[in-house]
Amino acid sequence: MNAKLTLKMDDTVIASAKRFARTHHTSLSKLAETYFKTITREAAPQKKSLRSSWRACRFT
């Protein structure tokens, strides 16, 4: 089931994320979903930085 999520963030971050999504042939929603899935799968005792989590994301 899909649900709607509203986020507030800096306009420049949104613009950059949209460009990133477009160049990787994906949607901003899919980009966010993939990121959230990646960071929530991490083992609690071995917390990684958000930067390393972001690099682990695979966008198709």
Residues 6-38 have pLDDT tens digits of 999 999 999 999 999 999 999 999 999 999 999
CA distance 25 to 59: 8
- Estimate to the nearest angstrom the gap between the alpha carbon of 46 and the chain centroid: 20
The reported pLDDT for the residue numbered 46 is 58
Higher model confidence: residue 43 or residue 59? 59
Higher model confidence: residue 45 or residue 39? 39
The reported pLDDT for the residue numbered 7 is 94
Please report, for the chain, the start and end positions of each structural domain, with discontinuous segments joined by +.
30-60
8 token code pair: 């507030």
CA distance 57 to 37: 9
Higher model confidence: residue 58 or residue 31? 31
The reported pLDDT for the residue numbered 48 is 60
